[in-house]
Amino acid sequence: MIVELEDTTTSKISKELVSMRRAQGVVALSRVLTLLVITRAGFEEDAITAANLASREHPCRILVVVKGRVTGETRLDAQIRVGGDAGASEVIVMHTYGPGARVDESLVSGLLLPDAPIVAWWPHGVPKNASQTPLGRIAHRRITDSGAEDDPRKALFTLADSYRAGDTDLAWTRLTLWRAQLAAVFDQLDPSKVTSVTVKGAVDSPSTVLLAAWLTLCLDVPVTIASAPEGTGVRSVRFTREIGDVELSRPVGDVAELYHPGQKPQLISLPQRPLADCLAEEMRRLDPDEVFGEVVRVGLKRTNLRSIRPSER
């Protein structure tokens, strides 16, 4: 069910939600959090789709703030989606227009679930300082996506410069399966025997840089980034040792191969994660991600990004 409200207010939206429950028998499930989605006109539907899918694991109220044009009349249009149009959530889409439109706590405060955590997500447009934005200040967790920016690496370092506990980025979340598999590789080799590491990944992938920074912290050895074509993400990690290299490689598809000297390649499922899965993972944990914090605050500074070179193969 979708209800349109033109030139409305937060109070009217809240009253309409109550009226819909009474008249249509729409019963809210137990909501575990409020998800604030801050985006731009034209990008909202992809974000809503991902949020709806993630809400099946984390029933929530989704408040989508869409920043429209800043000229003309100041007004607020809204759309309420419940039932089959909202996954396991209530979705409230708010379009702001005009120079007087304020995207701050006053816009959403009347729609926040009482006594429930707040997660803020910027699917497009990494803010200069997420924790100091009007909506970021009231959020327990703040999720950005540097991989969706025109200059992903610049966006990543913008996040690193302003990092506060509670910040995270989906470029890091996309590495969860890689980090799990690499941690298993650590158990099969002696990290003290590793002399260097090469991470091969797309030149436009902030995940490649974050993986190199994480490995720098884990192993304290030189890490080189070998560039791959745009849009391919992380391709492989090679550990150089005197007794033979160990490599985890995913050239194409969702299956990776683990190479040990003198052994047949071991096939490992390593799929590229969809946006909804990454969002659901971040909604699963509301405490600060201390490992991510150390990687962006310390690991990135220690990673020699000038070592980036063309891939050998």
Compute the CA torsion angle 298, 299, 302, 308 (nearest 10 deg): -150
For 261-289, write each residue's pLDDT tens digit.
Answer: 999 999 999 999 999 999 999 999 889 99
What's 100-136 look like in SS3?
Answer: CCCCCHHHHHHHCCCCCCEEEEECCCCCCCHHHCCCH
Residue at token pair 């590789």: 185
For 136-168, write each residue's pLDDT tens digit.
Answer: 999 999 999 999 999 998 899 999 999 999 999
Domains of the chain (ranges plus CATH)? 2-169 (no CATH), 176-310 (3.30.360.10)
- pLDDT score at 199: 94
- pLDDT score at 86: 60
Q: Buried b vs exposed e over 66-76: b needs ≥16 C-beta within 10 Å?
A: bbbeeeeeebb
Regions of the chain where pLDDT drops below 70? 24-30, 84-88, 304-313
- pLDDT score at 230: 77
- pLDDT score at 203: 76
- pLDDT score at 29: 52
Distance CA 156, CA 154 (A): 5
Three-class secondary structure of residue 99 per DSSP:
coil
Q: Buried b vs exposed e over 227-263: b needs ≥16 C-beta within 10 Å?
A: bbeeebbbbbbbbbbeeebbbbbbeeeeebbbbeeee
Q: Say if strands 223-228 and 246-249 run parallel, antiparallel, or are unpaired.
A: unpaired
- pLDDT score at 312: 47
Beta bridge partners of 39: 66
Q: Are 160 and 195 in contact (CB under 8 A)?
A: no
- pLDDT score at 2: 86
